[in-house]
Amino acid sequence: MAQVNDLLLDHDLTISGEIIVPVKHCLMAYDDATIDTIKEVLSHPQALGQCRKFLSNHPAWKLIPSYDTAGSARMIAEGKRTDQAAIASKRAAGVYGLKILKEDIQSEMANFTRFFVLEKNPGPVKGANKTSIVFATKNVPGALHMCLGEFATRNVNLSKLESRPRKNKPWVYVFYADFEGHMDDPNIHAAIGGLLKTGAFVKILGSYRKAEN
């Protein structure tokens, strides 16, 4: 998600929707491999973390972070090694012709990932009830408190607040926030207007319909 946030800040795209997808991880390997032959497991760092309980039962395995889960499956298929496995989706196993050694190895059964629908200059989203923004604070004491106060005093409910270091600016942070409501709502419009004065900068990422789990 950190990389996605950075890209949203750098590029002129608007969030027009969100989708919540259940995540089910599988351990997969080349056809001749078994659980006993595995010595290395490849996957995205987030997937490795989401399967930590299963992986802790195999402390001898070397965990190798990779760019993404599907790419890890592809590397296993191309390598044809019996001592390597990947953590990815069941679909990835089918695409790359891998054998699933174990299904549903995620630590939490209620495991979900959020995906954004991105568009360039989209029209108004009917029924939009959620908004995402990114903002930075001024370099003064209590700056974040004052910025968040623009929402609190107008009864705008923040559902997420995440900080990220700003690229090429050491010790400078930007904040990604989600809140309930549409930009055209009077209280939200006023909160953003206040934030433009209180903060250092504000970028509206989009107003969209909240995904149902």
The catalytic residue among 112, 113, 153, 201 is 113
Hey, what are 21's tokens? 């997808």
Based on the residue annotation, tell me whether 153 is a catalytic residue of this protein: no
Question: For residues 192 and 151, is the Cβ–Cβ distance under 8 A?
Answer: no
Tell me how far apart the 2 most distant CA atoms of the chain are, in Å: 63
CA-nearest of 210, 213, 202, 206 to 16 is 206
Hey, what are 186's tokens? 């009077």
Based on the residue annotation, tell me whether 115 is a catalytic residue of this protein: yes
The catalytic residue among 115, 135, 137, 153 is 115
CA-nearest of 51, 89, 97 to 70 is 89
CA 121 to chain centre: 23
Catalytic residues: 113, 115
